[in-house]
Amino acid sequence: MKILMCPDSDHLYLNSLRKKLEREGVKIMRISWFGKQSLYSLLQVLHGKIKGYSLLHLHWMPFNRFLTMKLIRKLTDLLNIKMVWTIHNLIPHKPQYGSIEKDKEAMKYMASWASAGIVHSEKTKEDFYERFGVDLPLFVIPHGHFNEYAKIKASDESRRRLDISPDKTVLLMLPPNRWTKGIRDFIEVIKKLPDNYIGILAGICKNPLIRAYINKECRNHPNKFLTRLDYIPNAEVGYYFAASDIFFMPYERITTSGSLINAMAYKKPIISTPQGNIHTLVENGMNGYLCNTVEEMIEKIKKIDRVTAAKMGEKSYEIAKKNDWGDIAKQTIKVYERIIGK
């Protein structure tokens, strides 16, 4: 079986899926995102067809322009290349084609193009049909874990590096790069928690409004926050997780959260909201809590001391581990076979 897969990215999800598909005997040709190098990407598709590739697997909406998406669809129709689409988000994290309405139109267009879609939970499947009113066949395949990528560090060493005392209970958001991750609620909760709780906001943040907001709040409450709003090399990410007790991401809107899955790989309990697929990751009272209000978040966080957090973090790791990439690859191949035959 030969599959064209786009985008060509080192994203942990794509890396893991490709590796397991190839282990099952699937040949994969990577196609670059259809952005500034769209002509090159188009030539890759043509080359793939010549080499016998007859199925294109798209993730997200890998097109900078709506017009480019339409042109590639016409090309694949002409070449008799079928398309399967993994729908990681019901709506892009930020407007991709100028407005929410235009993005919705693009999502419906992708649905009309695809022969089948893949989503990560039954809830997303239901929400997709309700939101877009299309008849695209959808298959539920869970998002796999990132456990193998986590480089877990020692807590004591990490706290020394970040100058955090051992008596503090630390909540982490990484990265604070979108308002929809619940940045305002994160800061509000940390401010209202007792003095032995502090919050870390770490990772690249290019949005100047978010940066200004975080910096202002941290200046006003200097003993409650630790920030580093720039790129953190992979070799250093583990220190931030190890220095923290709880991963706190109170999403305003999300479909699938790679950030939470990454935190679970680092054995962190989760405090979040019942958005999107998060209910498949967090078992209330076992490895975290899903909360609807700031007051509920504060209540649940107070239940988790450092010892409890460590135990809940181990449970996070085990829950994530259940979503095995080998099984996910086999389920994905079954979708391919439905489209192009065995």
Domain parsing of the chain, residue ranges: 2-144+324-340, 147-321
pTM for the complete prediction?
0.93
Residues 34-62 have pLDDT tens digits of 999 999 999 999 999 999 999 999 999 99
Tell me how far apart the alpha carbons of residues 270 and 293 are, in angstroms, rounded to a whole number.
15
Q: Is the CATH number of domain 147-321 3.40.50.2000?
A: yes
Q: Do domains 2-144+324-340 and 147-321 have the same CATH topology?
A: yes
Token pair listed for 19: 């590796």
pLDDT in tens, 236-250: 999 999 999 999 999
The first and second tokens of residue 335, run together, are: 């979708």
Whole-angstrom distance, CA of residue 267 vs CA of residue 27: 34
Decide if domain 2-144+324-340 falls under CATH 3.40.50.2000.
yes
How does the average pLDDT of the chain come out, rounded? 96
Nearest to 298 by CA among 253, 250, 251, 243: 250
Per-residue pLDDT of the chain in tens (342 residues, 90 and over written 9): 999 999 999 999 999 999 999 999 999 999 999 999 999 999 999 999 999 999 999 999 999 999 999 999 999 999 999 999 999 999 998 889 989 999 999 999 999 999 999 999 999 999 999 999 999 999 999 999 999 999 999 999 999 999 999 999 999 999 999 999 999 999 999 999 999 999 999 999 999 999 999 999 999 998 999 999 999 998 999 999 999 999 999 999 999 999 999 999 999 999 999 999 999 999 999 999 999 999 999 999 999 999 999 999 999 999 999 999 999 999 999 999 999 975
Residue 121 makes CB contacts below 8 A (sequence gap 6+) with 140, 142, 276, 277, 279, 280
Contact 231, 205 (CB under 8 A): no
Can you give the pLDDT at residue 342?
57
Kindly state the tokens that stand for 342: 């065995």
pLDDT of res. 144: 97
CA atoms within 13 Å, Cβ hemisphere of 148: 10
> Which residue, among 84, 72, 25, 66, has the nearest Cα to 46 in the 3D structure?
72
